[in-house]
Copies of this chain bind each other. A is one copy, B any other.
Amino acid sequence: MFHFTAIVTLLAVMFYFYTSMQVARARVAYGVKAPAISGNPDFERIFRVQANTLEWMPIFLPSLWLFAIYLSDVFAAGIGLVWILGRVLYMTGYAEAANKRGTGFAIQMVAVALLWGGAIYGVVSKMLHV
């Protein structure tokens, strides 16, 4: 079983849900009524945090789970936590200013690269050794 990866998956889902709630709050705070998604730069930055997190979910989750299945549940979960940390820093940075989103983005990108690279290494070595 992959208990640790399951927990980290649910934490990542919760964090991503939180970024959606921030968009709903920002709609009220900056007076941007649905269905509009532009018109105020403060709103747009918060909207982009959620949109960018969404954009990374189909990269993060498959890489996380294939790493867990082919290499290690515990290591997948550990790197997954680093990914969440990077996304949190990206969110807090981007909310302040567009050019403060770099550090968090880099951290989560390195985390995903490790998951993806580990997963492909795991699959290919399994295929070659059978």
Residues of chain A at the chain B interface (Cβ within 8 Å)? 1, 3, 6-7, 9-10, 13-14, 16-17, 20, 33-38, 41, 44-45, 47-48, 50, 54-55, 57-59, 61-63, 66, 69-70, 98, 101, 116, 119-120, 123-124, 126-127
The main secondary structure of chain A at its interface with chain B is helix
Q: Once bound together, how far apart are the Cα atoms of A124 and B98, in whole Å?
A: 38
Contact A70 B17 (CB under 8 A): no
Q: With CB as the reference atom, state the residue of chain B lying closest to A46.
A: B35
| A6 CB to nearest B CB, Å | 5
Contact A10 B54 (CB under 8 A): no
Q: Once bound together, how far apart are the Cα atoms of A70 and B58, in whole Å?
A: 22
Contact A10 B123 (CB under 8 A): yes
Known: A44-B35, A98-B34. A13 touches B116 (CB 8 A): yes
